[in-house]
Amino acid sequence: MMASWCALAFFCLAFFCHGAQSCPLHCKCYYRSTEVVCNDSPLTEYPSSGFQRNTTLMTIQFTNITSISEHHLSATPMLKGLHVYSNQLQNLSSHLLRGTPHLDTLDLTGNKVSELPADVFSHAPLINLVLKNNLIEKAEAKWLPDNSNITWLDLSGNRITQVPAALLQKLPHLDNLDLGNNRLEKISANSLDSLPKLERLNLRNNKLSTLDASIFQNTHNLTYLFLNRNKLQKLPQNLFQGLDQLSVVSLDDNQLSHVPAGFLDPLSSLDEEALDLSGNPWQCDGKMAYLWRWMLKNKDKVYLPESVICAAPPSLVGRSVISLKESELNL
């Protein structure tokens, strides 16, 4: 009988203690995982009370929050991940992360951030920083401390017109850089020199018309390269020289009519179906000889090789490059 009473008392104590645990208004708290989720709620301000001190993961999405300050985050000093998706964020305070010394992931996807103050991402050991789909026009070095720990930086879906070389110099450990869906027209020759560990580079859907021959000279670990949906017309012969780790390359939907002889020879590590050349206006004349021969020899490495189509001359329009014969190329 005594054992039963003890068990009942323990159950009641556990129940009432759990019920007494606080949680921010309009949010759900998962105590075992120390997670707080505020989803599709009428919040207009970042919650600054009701948190458990040991909260490690915070997700706020589809609310009307417009700003976050250092004061707000000081309520969760053990925070490791902060995900603020698809809200109305416009302002972040300087020294935002001073009260979160354990934060390694910050994701601000889908907000209305256009400018950020100095040291906004200092004071925390960030590894993953995502600023995707905002209104940023210029990515600045003043955001970060020197020798940052960030390995993953996503600036895609903004309005950036220049590769932020000064910012990248503060990221010696970066292995993923996403600048896709911006307004880049040119990349200076030394922009990526400070990124020796870079493995994945996304430049898709910009306005690039050419690339400097030495742009990748210090990125020997580059494995995934996305250059599709730009305006590339000509590429230097030795663009891929020294990139013997490249396994995926996307050049589709550009303005390429030819590639120089030897251009694809360094790509010995390409995966199967990993090179996309479709959606370009290929000129199927004598200058196409190199690409034609390379494709016949490496057909298994080309993604949908039948989709690499001649745009000229008129007699060959619509023909796939690999279906051509020597006589048709006037070799």
| Residue 10, pLDDT above cutoff 70 | no
Residue with tokens 């970060």: 144
Q: How confident is the model at residue 53 (pLDDT cuts 50, 70, 90)?
A: confident
Q: How confident is the model at residue 8 (pLDDT cuts 50, 70, 90)?
A: very low
Can you read off the two tokens belonging to residue 105? Answer: 């992931």
Taken as a whole, the chain contains a residue count of 331
HSE-up of residue 241 (Cα within 13 Å, Cβ side): 11
What pLDDT was estimated at residue 184?
97
**Strands 248-250, 224-226: pairing kind:** parallel
Torsion, Cα 277 282 287 290, to 10 degrees, reads: 20
Q: Of 261, 272, 269, nearest to 302 (Cα)? A: 272
Q: What is the pTM of this model?
A: 0.92
Q: Which of 39-48, 196-205, 275-284 has the lowest mean pLDDT?
A: 39-48
Q: How confident is the model at residue 121 (pLDDT cuts 50, 70, 90)?
A: very high
What is the full DSSP assignment across 60-89? EESS---EE-HHHHTT-TT--EEEEESS--
Please state the separation of Cα 266 from the chain's center in Å.
Answer: 26
What pLDDT was estimated at residue 27?
94
Q: What is the mean pLDDT of residues 135-144?
A: 97
Tell me the pLDDT of the chain averaged across its residues.
93
| Residue 49, pLDDT above cutoff 90 | no
Alpha carbon separation from 306 to 21, 43, 73, 88, 277 (Å, rounded) = 62, 52, 54, 45, 10
Alpha carbon separation from 303 to 8, 124, 269, 270, 324 (Å, rounded) = 66, 42, 15, 11, 18
4: CB partners within 8 A, 6+ apart:
none
Q: Are 111 and 84 in contact (CB under 8 A)?
A: yes
Q: How confident is the model at residue 331 (pLDDT cuts 50, 70, 90)?
A: low
Q: How confident is the model at residue 14 (pLDDT cuts 50, 70, 90)?
A: very low
SS3 107: strand
Q: Are 286 and 317 in contact (CB under 8 A)?
A: no
Q: What is the mean pLDDT of residues 166-191?
A: 96
**Strands 275-276, 57-61: pairing kind:** unpaired
Q: How confident is the model at residue 41 (pLDDT cuts 50, 70, 90)?
A: confident
CA angle 252, 254, 259 (to 5 degrees): 85
Separation CA 180–CA 228 (nearest Å): 9
Q: Of 252, 181, 256, 266, nearest to 222 (Cα)? A: 266
What pLDDT was estimated at residue 31?
86
What pLDDT was estimated at residue 15?
37
Q: What is the mean pLDDT of residues 151-165?
A: 96
What pLDDT was estimated at residue 32?
86
